[in-house]
Structure 1
Amino acid sequence: MLALEDITVVSLESGISAPLCTRLLGDFGAEVIKVERPGVGDVNRHWDTAVYGDSSAHVWVDRNKLSVELNLKADAGRAVFRELAAEADVIVQNYSPGVVERLGVGYEDVTEYNDDVIYLNISGYGRDGPYEDRKAYDMVMQGETGLIPMNGSPDAPAKIPLSICDINAATYGTISTLLALFHRERTGEGQELDVTMFGGILSWLGYFPHKYWHTDEIPERIGMRHHLLTPYGPHETADDQSVNFAILSEAHWELLCTDVLERPDLLEDERFETNEKRVENRGMLEPLIEDLIADYPRDYWAERLAEAGIPWGDVNELDDVLDHPQADHLDLVKEFETEDGPVPYVDTPIDSSELEFAAEPMPDLGEDTEDVLAALGYSSAEIEELRDADVI
Structure 2
Amino acid sequence: MMALDDITVLSLESGISAPLCTRMLGDFGAEVIKVERPGVGDVNRHWDSVVDGDSSAHVWVDRNKLSVELNLKSDEGLEIFHELAEEADVVVQNYSPGVVERLGVGYEDIAAITDDIIYLNISGYGRTGPYSDRKAYDMVMQGETGLILMNGSPDAPAKIPLSVCDINAATYGTISALLALFHRERTGEGQNLDVTMFGGMLSWLGYFPQKYWHADEVPERIGMRHHLLTPYGPHETADDQYVNFAILSEAHWELLCDAVLERPDLLEDERFETNEKRVANRETLEPMLESLIAERPRDYWAERLAEAGIPWGDVNRLDEVLDHPQTDHLDLVKELETEDGPVPYVDTPIDSDSLEFAAEPMPDLGEHTDDVLEALGYSSDDIERLRESDAI
Q: Report the TM-score when normalising by structure 1.
A: 1.00
CA distance in 1, matches of 2:6, 2:297: 56
Q: Note the aligned Cα RMSD (angstroms).
A: 0.4
CA distance in 2, matches of 1:361, 1:247: 43
- 1:291 corresponds to 2:287: no
**Cross-structure match for 1:342:** 342
**Cross-structure match for 1:358:** 358
Q: How does 1:45-194 map to 2 (within 5 A)?
A: 45-194=45-194
CA distance in 2, matches of 1:29, 1:204: 28
CA distance in 2, matches of 1:161, 1:305: 30
1:268 aligned partner, one-letter code = E
| Cα shift at 1:337 | 1.4
1:98 aligned partner, one-letter code = G
**Cross-structure match for 2:217:** 217
Report how many residues are paired: 392
Deviations 1:335-380 (A, max 9, x none): 0111112100000000011110000010000000000000000000
CA distance in 2, matches of 1:131, 1:151: 24
| Cα shift at 1:296 | 0.6
CA distance in 2, matches of 1:25, 1:210: 34
**Cross-structure match for 1:8:** 8
2:36 aligned partner, one-letter code = E
**Cross-structure match for 2:240:** 240
CA distance in 2, matches of 1:252, 1:77: 63
**Cross-structure match for 2:35:** 35
Give 3-state SS (helix, strand or coil) of 1:119's partner. Answer: strand
CA distance in 2, matches of 1:254, 1:74: 71
Identity %: 85
CA distance in 1, matches of 2:17, 2:56: 15
Any stretches of 5+ residues in structure 1 without a counterpart?
none
| Cα shift at 1:155 | 0.5
CA distance in 2, matches of 1:321, 1:227: 26
- 1:278 corresponds to 2:278: yes
2:169 aligned partner, one-letter code = A
Give 3-state SS (helix, strand or coil) of 1:233's partner. Answer: strand
- 1:251 corresponds to 2:228: no
- 1:303 corresponds to 2:303: yes
**Structure 1 residue ranges (4+ consecutive) displaced by more than 2 angstroms after TM superposition:** none
Deviations 1:72-116 (A, max 9, x none): 011110000000000000000000000000111011000111110
- 1:313 corresponds to 2:310: no
Give 3-state SS (helix, strand or coil) of 1:315's partner. Answer: coil
**Cross-structure match for 1:20:** 20
CA distance in 2, matches of 1:15, 1:226: 32
CA distance in 2, matches of 1:309, 1:340: 47
Give 3-state SS (helix, strand or coil) of 1:212's partner. Answer: helix
CA distance in 1, matches of 2:109, 2:341: 43
CA distance in 2, matches of 1:149, 1:291: 28
Give 3-state SS (helix, strand or coil) of 1:15's partner. Answer: coil
Give 3-state SS (helix, strand or coil) of 1:244's partner. Answer: strand
**Cross-structure match for 1:226:** 226
| Cα shift at 1:390 | 1.0
Give 3-state SS (helix, strand or coil) of 2:233's partner. Answer: strand
Give 3-state SS (helix, strand or coil) of 1:279's partner. Answer: helix
2:367 aligned partner, one-letter code = E
CA distance in 1, matches of 2:382, 2:373: 9
Any stretches of 5+ residues in structure 2 without a counterpart?
none
**Cross-structure match for 1:388:** 388
Give 3-state SS (helix, strand or coil) of 2:22's partner. Answer: helix
CA distance in 1, matches of 2:310, 2:349: 26
Deviations 1:155-212 (A, max 9, x none): 0000000000000000000000000000000000000100000000000000000000
CA distance in 2, matches of 1:266, 1:256: 10
CA distance in 2, matches of 1:196, 1:234: 33
2:332 aligned partner, one-letter code = L
Give 3-state SS (helix, strand or coil) of 2:337's partner. Answer: strand
CA distance in 2, matches of 1:338, 1:13: 23
CA distance in 2, matches of 1:360, 1:190: 29
Give 3-state SS (helix, strand or coil) of 1:159's partner. Answer: coil
